A = this chain, B = another copy of it.
């Protein structure tokens, strides 16, 4: 194994007989461990017939001819026949299901029931329903626009505007069915250095985001250039006041600077000890 002068460039295929969401995420994670290589990623879902599988083999073989090296193929096929067809492609084929399924079968002493795509299926209608209700709740309780039902919230995010509260709430609702509300601090909160009365009743569900003031300034500037709102001075002031307020009220908070939506959501689930149920 040696480091070549030119970084390797390959095509990566993420293949599945269902949505391909799992294999796409896993394959992308794996490839992100190779910073010194470049990949063109192609997801092909619903490869559920022999004909589609054969067409995909041809597509992969074409790529193998055009690229420097043969493609990397990641797959999660539930149907072994489709998997076998893909094995004939000119590629490194890594099936991310079969290898583990065999070991789990041996461990449990039972056969798997290869029902295609159970994981992302509406069969789990309770989970689906819960997630849709959580999204509805989260949309209705975004940005403090409604204060109708704080008590129903699993968590209420607070912080100055543009710290990532809305995307994080939506992620929690969509992925985990969590009822996530949010409330952006306003100048009145700082003036009286106290929470609004309605929030005091749900203090145990409050969690705060803070952020580096200069980063906040850059983000706000993009939306509203040359505004007092986006000025460095105002951003520094708001962040400082928000942190004082959160400490005074005993609200746990974390620094959202340079964290992705997934990292913010995970940190919240973890630190606020919310149930992390996969649907």
Interface residues of A (CB under 8 A from B): 1-4, 8, 10, 18-22, 24-26, 28-37, 41, 43, 45-46, 69, 72, 74, 76, 78, 92, 94, 96-97, 99-101, 103-115, 117-125, 128, 131-132, 135-136, 139, 142, 164, 166-167, 170-171, 174, 258-263, 265-266, 269-270, 276-278
Across-interface contacts of A103 in B (CB, < 8 A): 92, 94
Asked if residues A113 and B35 are in contact (CB atoms below 8 Å), the reply is: yes
How many angstroms from the CA of A41 to the CA of B277 in the assembled complex? 8
Q: Which residue of B lies closest to A265 (CB)?
A: B19
Asked if residues A30 and B100 are in contact (CB atoms below 8 Å), the reply is: yes
With A19-B262, A260-B120, A260-B128 in contact, is A108–B29 under 8 Å at CB?
no
18 A-B pairs (CB sep. < 8 Å)? A1-B106, A4-B109, A22-B26, A24-B278, A26-B26, A33-B118, A35-B115, A35-B118, A36-B113, A43-B278, A45-B266, A92-B103, A120-B260, A120-B262, A122-B258, A128-B260, A136-B166, A171-B174
Across-interface contacts of A131 in B (CB, < 8 A): 167, 261
Asked if residues A100 and B96 are in contact (CB atoms below 8 Å), the reply is: yes
How many angstroms from the CA of A72 to the CA of B105 in the assembled complex? 11
With A29-B119, A33-B118 in contact, is A10–B108 under 8 Å at CB?
yes
Asked if residues B174 and A261 are in contact (CB atoms below 8 Å), the reply is: yes
Asked if residues B110 and A3 are in contact (CB atoms below 8 Å), the reply is: yes
With A96-B26, A104-B72 in contact, is A112–B261 under 8 Å at CB?
no
How many angstroms from the CA of A58 to the CA of B74 in the assembled complex? 34
9 closest Cβ pairs, A-B complex: A29-B119, A32-B118, A19-B266, A120-B262, A33-B112, A35-B113, A122-B260, A28-B278, A32-B119
A230 to chain B, nearest CB (A): 16
How many angstroms from the CA of A170 to the CA of B138 in the assembled complex? 12
Across-interface contacts of A262 in B (CB, < 8 A): 19, 21, 120
A177 to chain B, nearest CB (A): 11
Across-interface contacts of A258 in B (CB, < 8 A): 122-123, 125
A45 to chain B, nearest CB (A): 5
Q: Which residue of B lies closest to A223 (CB)?
A: B136
Asked if residues B33 and A122 are in contact (CB atoms below 8 Å), the reply is: no
Asked if residues A22 and B19 are in contact (CB atoms below 8 Å), the reply is: no
A32 to chain B, nearest CB (A): 4
Asked if residues A34 and B110 are in contact (CB atoms below 8 Å), the reply is: yes
Asked if residues B72 and A107 are in contact (CB atoms below 8 Å), the reply is: yes
